[in-house]
Structure formats: structure tokens, C-alpha cells
Amino acid sequence: MGYTAKFKVWRGDDTGGGIEDFNVDVNEGEVVLDIIHRLQATQAPDLAVRWNCKAGKCGSCSAEVNGKPRLMCMTRMSTFTEDETITITPMRTFPVIRDLVTDVSYNYEKARMVPAFAPPADLAPGDYRMAQIDVERSQEFRKCIECFMCNNVCHAVRDHEENKTTFSGPRFLMRIAELDMHPLDTVDRREVAVEDHGVGYCNITKCCTEVCPEHIKITDNAIIPLKERIADKKYDPIFSIASLFKRNKQGRQAAPDTPHATK
């Protein structure tokens, strides 16, 4: 049952660091985060790691396990062979603070730039009516636990530090799509998606979808539809002319017999 595993863990801070070797006990049923905790308790009490729920619900313990972004709490040791060396490094896209802990403030800054949900002004609390089928599209994206692994893996920022000012990564393009598909939202974010969040940088390689621990179809269900709606607006001649008269969704929603359940 139990065995001793070979671990390599990156240790250091913003001034530099490197891989350190550890031999550490592993018991049946354990996950990578258990092993990191065992290292803390027995060999490296000041090993820095972020975690919280240890049940795949909070998205705190993201790291790269053998080069792949993973939640450490959901990576079972039984997925490795006993003689395999397991290498744990911090998420590469974000600056290291210490050991496995990175500075993810980029994500919070981008979140703040997405125009918030805006319901119709005359709709009283308690009077919201939406059909299940209409809320389901946005509900898929609201499963996001903000582990930021999609933003970590996206090559538009992973390999291009300079894009961080203009590109918000899959997490926040998905947030825009989520608000866009909210049956009662009244704001048009298409221009913001292009100008402030750089939706054009995404070339649909679907790396984000592959790493999502919640199995959200980020590219297919969020980003591609968002791109399509932007393309509609930009290139559809009839829409362009019509938009000269009615510039936003609010105008369309204000029609007296339009139920709130449609957008």
C-alpha cells in the first residue's frame, strides 16, 4: 500500500530558485496536495503552498504537475507509477511569490474591468422570471472556480508577457460571454470584449478547455459564440445600419410586449 515517492519541488522566490529533491511517504488514496502537506509537516515546514477546501471547489491549489496545470487536491497519486519522479512547479504565467505560490492579481484586475451585470431598471426584486433552459448557458460558465489554470495555460499570455495589458485570458472572456447570455442583462459588452479584453488574441487552440477542472467548454460555448456575435455586429451591413438607430440591447428590451425572459 504505502511507498516512498520521489518528488521534485520548485523552491524559491521572485529573486530566483530551483528544484529541490524529496523522498516522501505516500499512502493509499492520497492526492498530490496530501504529499505536499506531508513535506510541510515532516521536512520543509516553511514550504509555501496555497490551498483551501481540498475538495476541488475553491480553486486555490493550482500548480503544474509534471508540467501540466492541475489542482493538486484533485490529482490522485494512483495516476502515477511508484517509480515515477513527480515534479511540482508553480503556475508559470504568473510571477512567483514563494515556492508554489504565485501572484495572481492580474486576474482580479481583469475581473474589475468587465462591466457588471445590469438588470432592467424597472424590474423589482422578486419579479425576475427566467426559464431554466435560458439560464443554463450562463450557469455552465458560473461553475468556474477561478483556479486561473485557463489563464495560466493560454499561450497568448503564457508566452507573451507583453499581452497581459491588452488580453484578459479565457476566464474573463468567458465572464463576458456569461453576462452576454444572461437572460436579463441589458449591457452590450461586444466593444469592450475587443478593445479592453482582447478577444481577438484567442485563436481557438482550446488549451483552456483542456485544463478546466470543471470541464467547462470555454472555447466552444463561450469564446466562439462571443466572437460570432462581435463579427455579426461588425460585418453585418443590415445590423450596422439598424444599430445607427438602436444602439443597444436596452432599446430592444424596452419593447412593451417583450417578456423579460428573452434577450
Partner 1 sequence: MSEIERHSFDVVVIGAGGAGLRAAIEARMQGKRVAIVCKSLFGKAHTVMAEGGIAAAMGNVNSHDNWQVHFRDTMRGGKFLNSWRMAELHAKEAPTRVWELETYGALFDRTPDGKISQRNFGGHEYPRLAHVGDRSGLELIRTLQQKIVSLQQEDYRETGDYEAKIQIFAEVTITRLLTTDGRAAGAFGYFRETGNFVSFEAPAVILATGGIGKTFKVTSGSWEYTGDGHALAMRAGATTLNMEFIQFHPTGMVWPPSVKGILVTESVRGDGGVLTNSEGTRFMFNYIPDVFKDKYATTPEEADRWYTDPDNNRRPPELLPRDEVARAINTEVKAGRGTPHGGVYLDVSSRLPADVIKKKLPSMWHQFKELADVDITKEAMEVGPTCHYVMGGVEVDPDSQETLLPGLFAAGEVSGGLHGSNRLGGNSLSDLLVFGRRAGLGAAEYVEALPTRPAVTDAMLTEAEAEALAPFSNVGDENPYTIHADLQNTMNDLVGIIRTESEMVDALARLQDFKVRVKNSGVKGGRAFNPGWHLALDLKNMLLVAEAVAKASLDRQESRGGHTRDDYPKMSDEWRKLNIVCRYDGEGAVIEHQPMQPMRPDLLELFDVEELKKYLTAEELPTHDAGSDH
Binding site for partner 1 (CB under 8 A): 13, 27-31, 34, 40-42, 45-60, 74, 76, 97-99, 101, 104, 108, 111-112, 114-117, 119, 125-126, 128-132, 135, 138-139, 142-146, 179, 182, 185, 261
Which one, 125 or 237, has the nearer CB to partner 1?
A: 125
For residue 222, the minimal CB distance to partner 1 (Å) is 15
**CB-facing half-sphere around the CA of 263: CA atoms within 13 A:** 20
The dihedrals phi and psi of 98, each to the nearest 5 degrees, come to -160, 140
For residue 49, the minimal CB distance to partner 1 (Å) is 7
Which one, 60 or 151, has the nearer CB to partner 1?
A: 60
* Paired residues of 71 in beta bridges: 62
* Paired residues of 22 in beta bridges: 7
The torsion of the CA quartet 56, 61, 62, 63, rounded to 10 degrees, works out to -130
Which one, 243 or 261, has the nearer CB to partner 1?
A: 261
For residue 178, the minimal CB distance to partner 1 (Å) is 9
Task: Find all residues with CB under 8 Å of 41, minimum gap 6, and list them.
Answer: none
**Structural element, H or E, at residue 179:** helix 169-181
- Which stretches of 8-148 are DSSP H helices? 32-42, 105-112, 132-142
Which one, 66 or 243, has the nearer CB to partner 1?
A: 66
Rounded distance, CA 184 to CA 134, Å?
10
For residue 16, the minimal CB distance to partner 1 (Å) is 14
Which one, 34 or 188, has the nearer CB to partner 1?
A: 34
For residue 149, the minimal CB distance to partner 1 (Å) is 14
The C-alpha cell of 73 is what? 487536491
Which one, 53 or 242, has the nearer CB to partner 1?
A: 53
**CB-facing half-sphere around the CA of 97: CA atoms within 13 A:** 10
Rounded distance, CA 24 to CA 6, Å?
7
The dihedrals phi and psi of 244, each to the nearest 5 degrees, come to -65, -30
Q: Are 72 and 31 in contact (CB under 8 A)?
A: yes
* Paired residues of 35 in beta bridges: none
For residue 210, the minimal CB distance to partner 1 (Å) is 16
Residue type, 90: P
For residue 231, the minimal CB distance to partner 1 (Å) is 26
Which one, 61 or 223, has the nearer CB to partner 1?
A: 61
